[in-house]
Amino acid sequence: MLIPALDLLGGEVVRLYQGDFAQKMVFAPDPLPLALNYQSAGAGLLHLVDLDGARDPARRQLAPLARLSRELSLPLQVGGGVRSGEDIAGLLDSGVSRVVVGSAAIANPGQAATWLREFGPERLTLALDLRLEADGRRTLLTHGWQAGSERSLDSFLAELSGLGAQPRHVLCTDIARDGTLSGPNTALYTALVREYPQLRWQASGGVSSLDDIAALRRAGVSGVILGKALLTGQFTLPQAQAVWDSAAPVTTSQEAQL
């Protein structure tokens, strides 16, 4: 599945470079026209990042998100500063189909396990932003990449499993690639799909060409987040979908993940 992404700040569609609020570019004053274009082009899911909510949960853009939910038939996956069960419930009540949880889940796997049981794994997506270390460790970062955690991706997933919680959707970003149009870390996703085939991996960061989409398809991910590449016209969503559909035969295990 190809998943267009829009970052919202003050109701506008923006892009931050490497998560830096001081380095932003405004692409549209209103996300709805872009979202409608993606919907008509056949997108199956729209990924939204509430940057205001990420900085301050009290400023979460619930009204604009509810408007998008009303105006679109496209399901919404929304994240940005989700720190409590009340945050999750509020977003689901606004019409969001799936809520993205990141820093709060990484900081407290026990709480993450509770949320997975309370809301169900189909209503939550774990956002795992990672930095690849020289020794191969996949370190998880939190708070908009401003802080490192003591956990690796592997230890975090092991903790959840030990608590009897099994996530289903995982959005994984190699932060060195995000927003750079430098190409995705295909080797990383190939390894993750092989090591954790029960998870539906969403690849994020660095996609700049149709060849990148073909490579990620062959890596076996379930979805690809497309942000800056679509906004800057590197390719269109229909072009990307044609490549996704033809890049590799779908195996039985992949089909179950779509």
Domains and CATH numbers, the chain: 2-257 (3.20.20.70)
Q: Which residues contact 126 (CB under 8 A, 6 or more apart)?
A: 100, 101, 102, 105, 112, 167, 169, 170, 171
Taken in order 1, 239, 4, 194, the sign of the CA dihedral is positive
Q: What confidence score (pLDDT) does residue 178 get? A: 53
182 DSSP 8-state letter: S
**In terms of Cα–Cα distance, which of 222, 229, 217 is closest to 202?**
222
Q: How far apart are CA 111 and CA 119, in angstroms?
A: 12
In contact, 92 and 120? CB cutoff 8 Å: no
By annotation, the residues acting in catalysis are 7, 129
Write down the pLDDT at residue 256.
46
The pair of structure tokens assigned to 166 is 């099994």
| Residue 145: per-residue pLDDT | 44
* Token pair recorded at residue 200: 């539906």
Q: How many whole angstroms separate alpha carbon 173 and alpha carbon 132?
A: 11
Cα dist. 200→32, 60, 79, 125, 174 in Å? 27, 27, 17, 9, 16
pLDDT at 21: 77
Rounded distance, CA 140 to CA 145, Å? 9
List the one residue out of 115, 116, 144, 109 whose CA is nearest residue 129.
Answer: 144
CA atoms in the 13 A half-sphere facing the CB of 46: 28
Digit-by-digit pLDDT tens for the chain (258 residues) are 999 999 999 999 998 876 677 778 899 999 999 999 999 999 999 999 999 998 888 899 999 999 999 999 999 999 998 999 999 999 999 999 999 999 899 999 999 999 999 999 999 999 999 888 888 888 898 755 444 557 899 999 999 999 999 999 999 988 776 555 567 889 999 999 999 999 999 999 888 899 999 999 999 999 999 998 999 999 999 999 999 999 865 554 444 444
Q: Of 22, 84, 91, which Cα lies nearest the Cα of 50? A: 91
